[in-house]
Amino acid sequence: MAVGVFDSGLGGLTVYREIHDLMPDLPLVYFGDNAHAPYGVRDADDIYDLTCTGVSRLFDAGCDLVILACNTASATALRRMQEGWIPEGKRVLGVFVPLIEALTERQWGDNSAPREVDVKHVALFATPSTVASRAFQRELSFRAIGVDVEAQPCGGLVDALEDGDLILSGALVRSHVDALQRRMPKPEAAILGCTHYPLMADEFQAALGEGVKVFSQGKLVAKSLEDYLKRHPDMFGAGEASEFLTTGDPVSVSDQATRFLRREISFSPA
């Protein structure tokens, strides 16, 4: 009964951590495509091909349900995968919808017509590909009206985090927040639309100021997965062992992951 967690690299570990903390007995197979990270500067076809390859590996590892713990893949590839690629009996879910449900204060599965919500000015921080896809605005428009979204592509931030360079990461956060605030001086809410960014949540909050509510995905995705599994116990999958797979060098990825999550993590070759 394993569930798969996919990311281009280490960022999905912020989602993995919350799922594991909420459901410690649920076996999870994590796949990091570190050899091809970052995805955020790749084109849509490339992201689609790489995501399908990684998700297939998770199906082979006994997962019937895979969470794309990667906004870039969720924004760019998920729809196309759902339109014909996903095999019978398998399911792939993205990380956008739980976040948008929280932002618009909707309950799980509330598919009523879009309505006015309290927040009117939302800042979105994400990778260049996620911003270019406009997938966040599209999903939001199904649920809310009258929300102004200003998106900031945070070039360089994923590379700096994958390299463990927190000084450069902090400087990039401040300069991207600054660039966004020149276009939207007073957002009420900010979305960390990349699973790498929760590592910099304090820096985003400090740069944005205390009045801005910062949303990140880990806990929201974990909670909605728990709800989903209660409704679909058949999606647990055959796999029984938890493991961490990478397309990169397992030794250096394990070191980086252990630093990244501040807990011992050991990757095997995918």
Interaction between residue 140 and ligand DGL (CB under 6 A):
no
Can you tell me the distance from the alpha carbon of 3 to that of 240, in angstroms, rounded to the nearest whole number?
9
SS3 for 144?
strand
Binds ligand DGL by CB under 6 A, chosen from 154, 194, 225, 257: 194
- Please list every residue from 49 through 68 that binds ligand DGL, using CB under 6 A: none
Residue given tokens 């960390």 in the structure block: 192
Q: How far is the CB of 171 from ligand DGL (least distance, A)?
A: 18
Among 196, 212, 248, 270, binds ligand DGL (CB under 6 A): 196
Question: Cβ 97 to ligand DGL, closest distance in Å?
Answer: 14
Q: State which residue, 65 or 194, has the beta carbon closest to ligand DGL.
A: 194
- For residue 114, the 8-state DSSP code is P
Counting residues that bind ligand DGL (by CB under 6 A) gives: 17
Interface residue with ligand DGL, options 4, 6, 7, 91 (CB under 6 A)? 7
Report in angstroms how near the CB of residue 72 gets to ligand DGL at its nearest. 4
In the block, residue with structure tokens 């450069």: 168
- The CB-of-31 to ligand DGL minimum distance in angstroms stands at 13
Q: Which of residues 24-43 bind ligand DGL (CB under 6 A)?
A: 37-40
63 has catalytic annotation: no
Q: For residues 200 and 202, give the distance between their C-alpha atoms in angstroms, rounded to a whole number.
A: 6
Residue 195 binding ligand DGL, by CB under 6 A: yes
Q: Least distance from C-beta 124 to ligand DGL, angstroms?
A: 12
**Alpha helices (H) along the chain:** 13-22, 44-60, 71-76, 78-80, 96-103, 128-133, 135-141, 157-162, 166-183, 201-208, 218-231, 250-261
Question: Is 52 noted as a catalytic residue in this protein?
Answer: no
Give me the 117-136 binding string for ligand DGL, x by CB under 6 A, dash otherwise: ----------x--x------
Name residue, tokens 């880990």. Answer: 218
In whole angstroms, what is the distance from residue 98 CA to residue 160 CA? Answer: 27
| Whole-number Å distance between alpha carbons of 192 and 261 | 18
Phi, psi of 165 (to 5 degrees): -90, 90
Nearer to ligand DGL, 173 or 236 (CB): 173
The 3-class secondary structure across 25-73, one letter per residue, is: CCCEEEEECHHHCCCCCCCHHHHHHHHHHHHHHHHHCCEEEEEECCHHH
Q: Which of 51, 71, 104, 169 binds ligand DGL (CB under 6 A)?
A: 71
Q: Give the one residue of 4, 11, 156, 198 binding ligand DGL; rule: CB under 6 A.
A: 11
Asked whether the beta carbons of 73 and 6 are under 8 A apart, the reply is yes
Q: Which is nearer to ligand DGL, 65 or 73 (CB)?
A: 73
Q: Which amino acids are annotated catalytic? A: 70, 194
The footprint of ligand DGL (CB under 6 A) covers 7-9, 11, 37-40, 70-72, 127, 130, 158, 194-196
